[in-house]
Structure 1
Amino acid sequence: MLQLGASSLSANDITALLLGIAILLGLARILGERARRYRQPSVLGEILAGIILGPTIFGALSTYLVAKGFLSHNLFELIFPLEGGEKIALDGFITISATLLLFVVGLEVDLSTVIRQGKEAIAVSLAGIVLPFTFGFVIAWYLPDFLGAGPRGIGEDGQLPFAIFLGIAMSITALPVIAKILLDLNIAKSDMGMLIISSAMLNDLVGWIGFAIVLALLPVTAMVIPDPAAIHSATEVVTDAVNNTGSSQVVTTILITLVFLALMLTLGRLACHKALPYVQARWSWPGGVLSFVICISLICAAFTEYLGIHSIFGAFVAGVAIGDSTHLSERTRDTINQFIMNIFSPIFFASIGLRINFISEFNISIVLLVLVLATVGKVSGSYFGARLAKLGKREASALSFGMAAQGAVGIILGQLAREAGLINDELMVAIVVMALTTSLISGPIMQIILRLQHQRKLIDFLTDKQVIIDPTSTDIMQTIGELSKRAAEITNLKAHDIYKAVLQRERIMHTGLPGGLAVPHARLDNLPKPCVVIARHRNGIDFDAPDGKPAQIIGLLLTPTDQPETQIELLSLFAKSFSRNEIRQRALEIKSPTEFLAVLNQAAAEEAEATSPH
């Protein structure tokens, strides 16, 4: 029997707890999958599940039926009680879900990629932070009551933390949402796509460090959490006992947090890098690696919670330290991501709706103000940064809307601030609406901006000479070398120069795609026009694809430096041409370049017929 303080969970409590988690997870997954079917973020369906099961719909319906005498007990309060042992256990499970979710977000931050992008990523990220942060900070500083400051966000002690928080909330970027949008548009491997990813990584890192500082600045003696869903921190008990709430304690907490961050991103990062090969070699896969990384994340989370900073910050930093290791393969990352994103993530996002009435707490003035500030600030700042990074107007415009997506990360930030008593339910609803709206509009607007005037097919860039059937190469470097040699014959450039440029891009981020595809590519200054060379490799080459499959269809894509849109177009055309399994199978069965081109031509005709109006 699980002991909770002086009492324990009864059989009825355990029954209701397990039933509540099952209902929450089940409906969240069903609606999340339904949202994905309509090409929307799954978090939209997951939050909707919480709204349905929370006081907005299920709670209101249960109360009405009890009042009318149709029910003897309030079903909502039985399954999702507002007090007691079951409520504490459910809140604990939700805390673990949030912690592991932020670990996955941190896992996506590849510091090596950010460093390689250099000045461009810094320019885009910082410009995309400064302007929206300024908007949010100023409006929160002067209008805290109107915006919806919580009990710990008002008064002299709470004014600064509240203003900093809203600035961060306006400027944060949702890395998982952005990555999904880029994958859907088939431009994740393009130069612009990689710049967006790198900038978002840096943005997330700065944002969560800032949020950790906000939590350290919160006045401990003013801790009031009227919300029944809020989770009481063990650190607050320790701090209350010490009864030290002066500025020296705040400074000490911040300094310890920054030291922890520095150590984890240096020595901790190195230790994880050294330990992973041992774990992968001697422990079972994938359970061994999964256990190892989750243990590290929970230990770091416990440490930052002990400091008075939320546990999610420690988990996020652990994810950054572990995710930067080259020993963590894409297949292992995908396994960790699938486990957490399909179990814990839906429960966390659905839980947001359990304690908020989205109808009674919906304030149209706050919603519109937050939405406009976040969108205008983020788009304008990111566009300015992209122009500083020497991107063209069209490319900069697309990038700025990509960076505007807040999605899950903005919602997590808002929920944690709400639990800490920093914001009220009205502002939380506004942040949820803003995060979902920016995520929903980013992809379509990027697609409109990047749409080309003439729709071309991949076969338009190919001749028999540009198709290699069963090359002799056995690894990535040999394959790129063989493709570069053929490209040199077509473009009259030096094979070594092509090879060097493509390999340099490959080292920044592997270009393997699911389904046995790979798209090594480069942009060259002295290339007069785009060049495509495709190799059909029967045995396959390991390009570190997310699904772990070797690449059997490998497309070398070379584009002029002054034609960034062409690179995006070619990446999209390649992915689209081989998106169907039957087309890939046909391509693997052919025996000559001519037959290969025939397969592509037939696939294009079938696609045109399927999409034409009847």
Structure 2
Amino acid sequence: MSSQQVVALLVALAVVVALAKVLGALATRLAQPAVVGEILAGVLVGPTLFGGALANVLFPGDIRPMLSSLANVGLVFFMFLVGLEFNRDLLRERFGSIAVVSLGSMLTPFALGVLLATVLRPDDGRLAFVLYLGTAMAVTAFPVLARMISDWGMGGSKVGTLALGSAALGDLLAWSLLAVAIATLGAGSTEQWRLLLVLPVAAVSFWVVRPLLARIAQSRRDMFAVVLIGLLGWSALTEWMGLHFIFGAFLFGLVMPHGDAADLRAGVTLRIEQVSKVLLLPVYFVVAGLQVDLSRTTWTGFAEFGLIMLVAVGGKFAGALLAARLCRLDWRESATLGTLLNTRGLTELVILSIGLQLGLLDRDLYSQLVLMAVVTTMMTGPLVKLLHRKHAVEPVTLPVSSPRPR
């Protein structure tokens, strides 16, 4: 690495942090999640504006592999935090209603997404692509949704509880579906046998690693290095198995002990977020944004985007609304729930980036789907304010945690 590359990399990182802070703060002032501004920062420095000239100046080609490496580390940390902050208490009460709403809000857009895949890319007969696009249509961003619900004072309401529980369960379903889609890419290869290790690794994680971490946490030792080693090791293991490293990071977050290990969880979360939120995730947004090029969009592309929005928004909304009506919510509550579950945020961006890396998406379709993720997240707040009546909130006793706004 030459001195010139070091200078270019350091300047690029400074620009990334500054852009993320400025546009994140601007989004917050406009009553939007900060992640919307940060994603837009990545898109704005990409080839969409000025034909990529700005991107070439700020992020020269010889430092982009380094930025991609940092972005992957940020993604590992993000997925670990998603697993770490998964609140199982949300699924214990009202589980029947949560399961019905979650399945309705997932299966309807998933089925429509499968059909959409055959319309948008009829020549792509890969099962992985069909499953992948269905999953991309069905996902909800649990972390950013939790922050929205907390900010709006809906955490103790029936609608807020159902939305959080359904999004949490939907996250598990979405990552499982994505794992299946990725696994089908390697069908027939000589290394396919490694996927047979999924169940043993999961069993070891919950029955061996989790108790071991809990025992070490009781010793009051500095656990950060131990957790970091395990996180990186589990991420590498799932990548080697033929899945993606995000599944190892997510799984290791899930198996982190609860209860008496609260101090451990809080300490680990604080340390990882200090680096991840300020530096690594903004780098991830920029790397993702450099692949977005909306300047070449044709009328056919606009028509495809309209179809994508119809499937993503309509499928999620209709599925959630009908499921909520089956659970005896009134029309306003059901519509509010369907609107909340259309929040996609960074979770969608993670799935889209994986699809691009694996060759499941071309750049045009990737760009359209990123735009869909931004629009669906931005529209949630204004629509919920129109639908949600604060005086009609029905409180529940279930405590709701508030994961960080991603």
TM-score by length of 2: 0.88
Counterpart CA distance in 2 for 1:36 and 1:447 is: 16
Instruction: Name the structure 2 match of 1:393.
Output: 331
Q: CA deviation at 1:183?
A: 1.4
Deviations 1:370-410 (A, max 9, x none): 11101111111112222333333322221121111111111
Instruction: Name the structure 2 match of 1:555.
Output: none
What are the residue-to-residue correspondences of 1:341-360 with 2, within 5 Å? Answer: 341-360=277-296
Instruction: Name the structure 1 match of 2:146.
Output: 179
Answering whether residue 8 of structure 2 is matched by residue 41 of structure 1, we say no
Q: CA deviation at 1:331?
A: 4.9
Q: CA deviation at 1:136?
A: 0.2
Instruction: Name the structure 2 match of 1:605.
Output: none
Other structure's SS at 1:55 match: coil
Counterpart CA distance in 2 for 1:22 and 1:392 is: 50
Q: CA deviation at 1:302?
A: 0.9
Answering whether residue 406 of structure 2 is matched by residue 429 of structure 1, we say no
Counterpart CA distance in 2 for 1:336 and 1:384 is: 42
Answering whether residue 160 of structure 2 is matched by residue 270 of structure 1, we say no
Instruction: Name the structure 1 match of 2:188.
Output: 246
Give the residue type in structure 2 aligned to 1:101.
F
Answering whether residue 380 of structure 2 is matched by residue 442 of structure 1, we say yes
Q: CA deviation at 1:421?
A: 0.9
**Aligned partner of 2:228 among 271, 285, 294:** 294
What are the residue-to-residue correspondences of 1:324-473 with 2, within 5 Å? Answer: 324=258, 327-328=261-262, 331-332=266-267, 335-336=270-271, 338-339=273-274, 340-361=276-297, 363-451=301-389
Q: CA deviation at 1:297?
A: 2.1
Other structure's SS at 1:282 match: coil
Deviations 1:235-281 (A, max 9, x none): xxxxxxxxxx616754x344322443344344433333333333xx2
**Aligned partner of 1:81 among 25, 44, 60:** 60
Distance 1:332 1:191, change over 3 A: farther
Counterpart CA distance in 1 for 2:7 and 2:149 is: 43
Instruction: Name the structure 2 match of 1:311.
Output: 245
Distance 1:346 1:88, change over 3 A: closer
Instruction: Name the structure 2 match of 1:151.
Output: none
Counterpart CA distance in 1 for 2:242 and 2:37 is: 33
Counterpart CA distance in 1 for 2:323 and 2:138 is: 14
Counterpart CA distance in 1 for 2:216 and 2:158 is: 32
Counterpart CA distance in 2 for 1:388 and 1:292 is: 46
Give the residue type in structure 1 aligned to 2:12.
G
The structure with the largest helix share of the pair is 2
Deviations 1:152-187 (A, max 9, x none): xx654xx21001011101111100121121012111
Deviations 1:23-59 (A, max 9, x none): 1222122211211122112122212222332222365
Q: CA deviation at 1:448?
A: 1.8
RMSD over equivalenced CA pairs, Å: 2.9
Q: CA deviation at 1:120?
A: 1.8
Please say which structure displays the higher CA radius of gyration.
1
Counterpart CA distance in 2 for 1:39 and 1:123 is: 31
Distance 1:143 1:440, change over 3 A: closer
Answering whether residue 78 of structure 2 is matched by residue 101 of structure 1, we say yes
Instruction: Name the structure 2 match of 1:205.
Output: 172
Counterpart CA distance in 1 for 2:180 and 2:309 is: 25
What are the residue-to-residue correspondences of 1:513-592 with 2, within 5 Å? Answer: none
Give the residue type in structure 2 aligned to 1:509.
P
Counterpart CA distance in 1 for 2:45 and 2:357 is: 19
- Of all paired residues, the percent bearing the same amino acid is 28
Answering whether residue 46 of structure 2 is matched by residue 54 of structure 1, we say yes
Distance 1:274 1:199, change over 3 A: farther
Q: CA deviation at 1:454?
A: 9.6
Other structure's SS at 1:197 match: helix
Give the residue type in structure 1 aligned to 2:185.
L
Give the residue type in structure 1 aligned to 2:287.
S
Counterpart CA distance in 1 for 2:380 and 2:164 is: 14
Contact 1:304 1:314 in 2 (8 A): yes
Q: CA deviation at 1:112?
A: 4.0
Give the residue type in structure 2 aligned to 1:303.
L
Distance 1:265 1:431, change over 3 A: farther
**Aligned partner of 1:509 among 390, 396, 399:** 399
Deviations 1:515-553 (A, max 9, x none): xxxxxxxxxxxxxxxxxxxxxxxxxxxxxx99xxxxxxx
Q: CA deviation at 1:202?
A: 1.0
Structure 1: gaps (5+ residues): 1-8, 63-75, 146-153, 220-244, 456-500, 514-544, 547-614
Contact 1:141 1:160 in 2 (8 A): no
Counterpart CA distance in 1 for 2:26 and 2:232 is: 32
Structure 2: gaps (5+ residues): none
Q: CA deviation at 1:141?
A: 3.1
Q: CA deviation at 1:433?
A: 1.6
Instruction: Name the structure 1 match of 2:19.
Output: 27
Give the aligned length: 399
Counterpart CA distance in 1 for 2:124 and 2:25 is: 44
TM-score by length of 1: 0.60
- RCO comparison, higher one (Cα < 8 Å, 6+): 2
Deviations 1:80-102 (A, max 9, x none): 233x4x33222211111122122
Instruction: Name the structure 2 match of 1:558.
Output: none
Counterpart CA distance in 2 for 1:337 and 1:195 is: 29
Contact 2:291 2:363 in 1 (8 A): no
Other structure's SS at 2:261 match: coil
Counterpart CA distance in 2 for 1:293 and 1:439 is: 32
Q: CA deviation at 1:358?
A: 2.5
Distance 1:338 1:399, change over 3 A: same
Counterpart CA distance in 2 for 1:80 and 1:37 is: 28
The structure with the largest strand share of the pair is 1
Other structure's SS at 1:358 match: coil
Distance 1:190 1:335, change over 3 A: farther
**Aligned partner of 1:192 among 144, 159, 163:** 159
Give the residue type in structure 1 aligned to 2:248.
G
